[in-house]
């Protein structure tokens, strides 16, 4: 609703607006009192710009209601079914201490948190839900096919896709000296890794891939399209630490989901 708010502010200040664009936005809203041709009066300023001189009371009243929920809490925005236009006030992460049941670590709008379990020096990040649920199988696979070793009480964090790179998580995640990233070997996994590396520049990262990753990619039947590979290359060029992963995907023209590691 920020565009609508800007239009209303300019109208109130008698500043020129792009009238056709304003009409298009208003007409896209499911208002109780839809705009009629005679509802808005305007004087041409220049080009596509007009100064609005009059708006029907019922119409402007509904538009003001929608602008008032912009920038407030999700609960307030929900009074007009606009909660998704407002960021959540806080966040949370699911973390396991080795194979114990996951705990929820709540994080407030300032990134402050209190963990029910001790934070370890290193942590393993698992991107997908099934891998997090079957953490014991994942650890067995990783210790067999990579140099990763689970240390006592090491934290295992559920990435939930790219949600882990939320800026609210920075204070918590920065407490880890090293993050081992077990992610999909694809554009999504590279994006998560790049975002985390950008969020946590002082943290050491280890992008985990099995020692037989080339063979696993060879067994994939479908190849990725050129545009997809171009995006992979961009990440490899912008983030040198991920260049080997990007090059592997580029050379093979294929990707691999981490759930496949559970199918041993």
pLDDT digits (tens, 9 = 90+) for 18-46: 999 999 999 988 888 888 989 999 999 98
> Could you read off the pLDDT of 138-171 as tens digits, one per residue?
999 999 999 999 999 999 999 988 889 988 899 9
Question: Between 76 and 99, whose confidence is greater?
Answer: 99
Nearest to 97 by CA among 150, 61, 36, 166: 150
pLDDT tens, 104-125? Answer: 999 887 888 888 999 999 999 9
Domain with CATH 3.40.1360 in the chain: 91-262
pLDDT > 60? residue 69: no
Domain spanning 91-262: CATH 3.40.1360: yes
The pLDDT of residue 197 is 95
Q: What is the distance in angstroms between the CA of the first residue and the CA of the last residue of the chain?
A: 49
Could you give the percent of the chain with pLDDT greater than 70? 91
Q: What pTM, to 2 d.p., does this model score?
A: 0.68
- d(Cα 145, Cα 229) in Å, to the nearest integer? 26
Are the CB atoms for 63 and 11 separated by under 8 Å?
Answer: no
Q: How confident is the model at residue 4 (pLDDT cuts 50, 70, 90)?
A: confident
- E strands, 139-188, in order: 155-158, 178-182
Res. 71: pLDDT tops 80: no
Q: Cα–Cα distance between 227 and 221 in angstroms, integer?
A: 18
Q: How many other β-carbons are positioned within 10 Å of the β-carbon of residue 15?
A: 14
């Amino acid at each position: 609703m920020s565009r609508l708010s800007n239009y209303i502010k300019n109208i109130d200040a008698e500043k020129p607006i792009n009238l056709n664009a304003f009409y298009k936005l208003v007409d896209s809203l499911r208002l109780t009192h839809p705009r009629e041709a005679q509802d808005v009066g305007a004087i041409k300023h220049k080009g596509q710009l007009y100064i609005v001189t009059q708006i029907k009371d019922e119409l402007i009243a509904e538009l003001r209601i929608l602008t008032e929920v912009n920038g407030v809490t999700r609960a307030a925005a929900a009074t007009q079914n606009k909660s998704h236009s407002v960021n959540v006030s806080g966040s949370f992460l699911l973390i396991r201490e080795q194979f114990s049941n996951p705990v929820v670590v709540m994080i407030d709008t300032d990134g402050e948190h209190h963990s029910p379990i001790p934070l370890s020096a290193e942590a393993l990040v698992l991107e997908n839900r099934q891998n997090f649920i079957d953490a014991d199988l994942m650890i067995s696979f990783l210790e067999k096919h990579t140099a990763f070793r689970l240390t006592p009480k090491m934290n295992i964090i559920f990435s939930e896709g790219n949600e882990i790179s939320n800026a609210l998580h920075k204070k918590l995640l920065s407490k880890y000296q090293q993050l081992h990233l077990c992610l999909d070997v694809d554009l999504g996994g590279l994006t998560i890794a790049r975002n985390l590396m950008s969020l946590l520049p002082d943290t050491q990262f280890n992008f985990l891939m099995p020692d037989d990753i080339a063979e696993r990619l060879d067994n994939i039947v479908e190849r990725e399209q050129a545009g997809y590979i171009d995006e992979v290359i961009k990440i490899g060029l912008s983030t040198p630490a991920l260049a080997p992963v990007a090059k592997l995907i580029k050379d093979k023209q294929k990707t691999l989901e981490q759930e496949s590691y559970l199918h041993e």
